[in-house]
Amino acid sequence: MAEATEEGPRAYRRGPRSNWVPLGAAAAAIALLVVAWPLVNALLPGSESVPSGEPVPVGSASGYRATLTFPQEGWYLDTGASQAGLIYRFHRGPVELTLNAVTPVTSPPPTPEELWDGMREIVRAGEASARLGGPEAISTRDGDEGLTGVLESRHQRGAAVVYPSPDGRLAVEMTLAGREATMADLTAVADVVRSVSFVREEA
Amino acid sequence: MNRGPDERPAATDRGSVPSPREARRDESGPRHASERRPGGQHARGQRLPSLVALALIAVLCAAGLAYLALRFTGLVRVFFSEASLSVFLGVVTLAFGFWVLRRIRPVRDPALDASLVAVAWGLTAATAGGVVANAALGAIWNKSLGLPFSEVWGAALSAPLNEEVLKLGGIVLVAVAFPAAVRGPVDGFVIGSLVGLGFEVTENFVYSMNAVVQAGGTGGLVPVVQTHILRVGLAGLGSHWAMSAVAGTAVGLLAAAAWRPGPRRAVGAALLVLLAMGLHWLVDSPLFGSVLGVMIEVAVVFLTTMAVYFTVRHVHRRRVRGALASEGTALGMRRSAAVALANRHGRGRELGRVAAPERPVVERRQEQMLAIAEDRAVRHTP
């Protein structure tokens, strides 16, 4: 809040600057941010290869860390569309695997059935025509139990899976589908949804 | 006893305000007189930029609202109760904030039209732009620095730049669209805070819907309530309204110099914008993760903002008092009665001293005298 009284007369001698100048500067700055960043983002390569057999951390909460280990080669992580600890998007050819790390806030934590119902709603919010079929029991290779069912929408068909962590304070929700994916494509990688692990974190 | 509007009261009349039309004009101070007129009229050369700025604000606000509606329609449709509660809490926050932030402007409230447009910008255009820019810049950090680093530092590297510039752009547009409403640092502070308030309210909605998804759709209304408690109750004092108020003060400094600042003023304005970004960085940085850390961040942001506020408030009030004293002397008013008009309470007290039938006329004269005094105060703003 400088009170630079000597500035006024000088500015007066030069006269006021046209209001077009601040108007143009503001419009340019706004346009730059909403146009330039998406352009730069589009120019950068958006995915990185994920080696098979190596656990990928996909979220943690309440003392548990969740990982996903791909049984096959050829999976890629869409880094631009993912958010660490929240949402991960992978693809292998036409197959897309979307993984959400969920942290319930209620106490006691929700049952697997309640998690499934919540997932049903979230899937429907993302795509109005998407529906989840009735769930069946499934378990990870490590023996953690969850639910799975058919995912159907106007554009794709696949599978949905949810696994709560042993204490229920963390859950991994996945959809395995793809607009261009055939049943053979999906069947070839179906076991990926069983490769989730919950690891107890050291304090 | 009713006087005609031009009839001067005796100097000893308590509470009376003579017609300012008879006041001598102070010829010593005016600067940039060519572009300002008392009463907030547009000066020559301001009308077209003002209209264009207003049109740009309208278009960008409409585009922002449409983008946000498109993006959140699915979530609102499915989680309607959660969205409704979030909107309700947002409206309450907005109403309270709007009242408080307009009230803190010294001397008198800011112009209502400029205030509403400022809030609208923050609610729609700035937030939608922030969603687009943050998503893109966040993806750039993900790709270039890796997901783990981006998880920790992504927000601190994106939001202070994107969001502060988008809000700042809106403050400048409002200043150009309403040149009579943003004439100095005090106006910039208040208009900036209103832009930030609007931004905060929409961001709270976005965060609460994200929290619903993060909870797997299992928490009912709990994630919404938690989000508002954290973001309004705990962190509200040091949030967007405060950072944008600091950045808005810079806009006020530039507007007061007719957008042609000298080096000192330009540096001061730049430092204020950098300060706003720095405060935002502090809030988004992972350095203070605990509740105590958040409270420290909030305290730093709030106290810094208050330091800026009380500085510009002090300077503005001093100048307005000086202008009122000189105006009052010219009109034959007692100095104390003239200076008392510099605040809302004093005007009410002076008004209470005149007979009820005269109050509307005296109130009008108070307003006229204040308008002239604030014009003088602003013209003296270097």
- Domain coordinates in residue numbering, chain B: 37-319
Question: Which pLDDT does position B368 carry in this prediction?
Answer: 87
Give yes or no for residue B316 having a pLDDT over 90: yes
Question: Which pLDDT does position A5 carry in this prediction?
Answer: 40
| pTM of the predicted protein model | 0.88
Question: Which pLDDT does position B313 carry in this prediction?
Answer: 95
Measure in Å the smallest separation between the Cα of B230 and chain A Cα atoms. Answer: 14
Q: Do A2 and B382 touch (CB under 8 A)?
A: yes
Domain membership of residue A37 (yes or no) is yes
Rounded CA gap, B86 and B76, in Å?
10
Structure tokens at B56: 């740009």
Q: Return the percentage of chain B with pLDDT > 70, whole number.
A: 87
Question: Which pLDDT does position B16 carry in this prediction?
Answer: 57
Predicted confidence band of residue B363 (pLDDT cuts 50, 70, 90): confident
Low-confidence ranges of chain A (pLDDT < 50): 1-12
Asked if A180 and A91 sit in the same domain, the reply is: yes
Rounded CA gap, B130 and B122, in Å?
10
Residues 290-319 of B with CB under 8 A from A: 308, 311-312, 315
Residues 323-362 of B with CB under 8 A from A: none
Question: A152 in helix, strand or coil?
Answer: strand
Choose from A12, A19, A48 for mutation: most chain B CBs within 10 A: A19
Give yes or no for residue B370 having a pLDDT over 70: yes
| H-only helix segments in B229-358 | 240-256, 263-284, 291-331, 335-339, 344-352
Question: Which pLDDT does position B291 carry in this prediction?
Answer: 85
CA triple B259-B264-B268, angle to 5 deg: 80
Asked if A92 and A35 sit in the same domain, the reply is: no
Rounded CA gap, B201 and A111, in Å?
33
Give yes or no for residue B371 having a pLDDT over 90: no
Mean pLDDT to the nearest integer, B103-125: 96
Structure tokens at A59: 């979220």
- Write out chain B residues lying below 8 Å of A46, CB-based: 139, 143
Q: Do B45 and A122 touch (CB under 8 A)?
A: no
Rounded CA gap, B124 and B68, in Å?
8
Question: A196 in helix, strand or coil?
Answer: strand
- What Cα–Cα distance (Å) separates residue B304 from each residue in A180, B120, B124, B288, B300? 55, 26, 27, 18, 6
Asked if A24 and A93 sit in the same domain, the reply is: no
Measure in Å the smallest separation between the Cα of B19 and chain A Cα atoms. Answer: 30
| B38 phi-psi bin (left φ>0, alpha ψ -120 to 50, beta other) | beta
Asked if A143 and A188 sit in the same domain, the reply is: yes
pLDDT digits (tens, 9 = 90+) for B319-358: 999 999 988 888 888 888 888 888 888 888 888 888 888 8
CA triple B292-B293-B297, angle to 5 deg: 120
Q: Is B107 on the interface with A (CB under 8 A)?
A: no
Nearest to B315, CA basis, from B27, B106, B122, B150: B106
Question: Which pLDDT does position B12 carry in this prediction?
Answer: 37
The one-letter code for the residue type at B58 is A
Question: Which pLDDT does position B5 carry in this prediction?
Answer: 36
Domain membership of residue A145 (yes or no) is yes
Question: Which pLDDT does position B11 carry in this prediction?
Answer: 37
Question: Which pLDDT does position B44 carry in this prediction?
Answer: 63
Q: Pick the more confident residue, A173 or B16.
A: A173
Domain membership of residue A39 (yes or no) is yes
- Evaluate whether A197 touches A69 at the Cβ level (below 8 Å): yes
- Evaluate whether A162 touches A147 at the Cβ level (below 8 Å): yes
Q: Do A18 and B45 touch (CB under 8 A)?
A: yes
Asked if A136 and A175 sit in the same domain, the reply is: yes
Asked if A33 and A82 sit in the same domain, the reply is: no
Rounded CA gap, B20 and B23, in Å?
5
Q: Do A16 and B253 touch (CB under 8 A)?
A: no
Measure in Å the smallest separation between the Cα of B145 and chain A Cα atoms. Answer: 10
Beta bridge partner(s), residue A157: A152
The one-letter code for the residue type at B167 is K
Asked if A57 and A124 sit in the same domain, the reply is: yes
**Contacting residues for B317 by C-beta, under 8 A, at least 6 apart:** B106, B107, B342, B343
DSSP string covering B165-191: HHHHHHHHHHHHH-TTT--SHHHHHHH
Structure tokens at B139: 């993806």
Residue A122, H or E segment: helix A112-126
**Contacting residues for A98 by C-beta, under 8 A, at least 6 apart:** A87, A88, A89, A90, A174, A175
Residues spanned by the domain of A23: 7-43
Question: Which pLDDT does position B30 carry in this prediction?
Answer: 38
Question: Parallel, antiparallel, or unpaired for β A47-50 and A75-78?
Answer: antiparallel
DSSP state of B34: G
pLDDT digits (tens, 9 = 90+) for A78-97: 999 999 889 999 999 999 99
- What Cα–Cα distance (Å) separates residue A99 from each residue in A59, A67, A117, A173? 10, 11, 17, 6
Rounded CA gap, B203 and B240, in Å?
10
Asked if A94 and A157 sit in the same domain, the reply is: yes
Asked if A175 and A100 sit in the same domain, the reply is: yes
Rounded CA gap, B307 and B51, in Å?
34
Mean pLDDT to the nearest integer, B2-25: 44
**Contacting residues for B32 by C-beta, under 8 A, at least 6 apart:** A8, A11, A12, A16, B257, B258, B379
Question: Which pLDDT does position A2 carry in this prediction?
Answer: 37
Question: Which pLDDT does position B3 carry in this prediction?
Answer: 39
Question: Which pLDDT does position B21 carry in this prediction?
Answer: 45
Question: Which pLDDT does position A15 carry in this prediction?
Answer: 66
pLDDT digits (tens, 9 = 90+) for B267-283: 999 999 999 999 999 99
Asked if A27 and A69 sit in the same domain, the reply is: no
Number of domains, chain A: 2
Asked if A69 and A152 sit in the same domain, the reply is: yes
Q: Do A11 and B172 touch (CB under 8 A)?
A: no
Residues 28-57 of B with CB under 8 A from A: 31-32, 34-35, 45-46, 49-50, 52-53, 56
Rounded CA gap, B95 and B208, in Å?
19
Give yes or no for residue B14 having a pLDDT over 90: no
Asked if A138 and A68 sit in the same domain, the reply is: yes
Average pLDDT across chain B, whole number: 88
The one-letter code for the residue type at B246 is V
- CATH number for the domain spanning A121: value is 3.40.1000.10
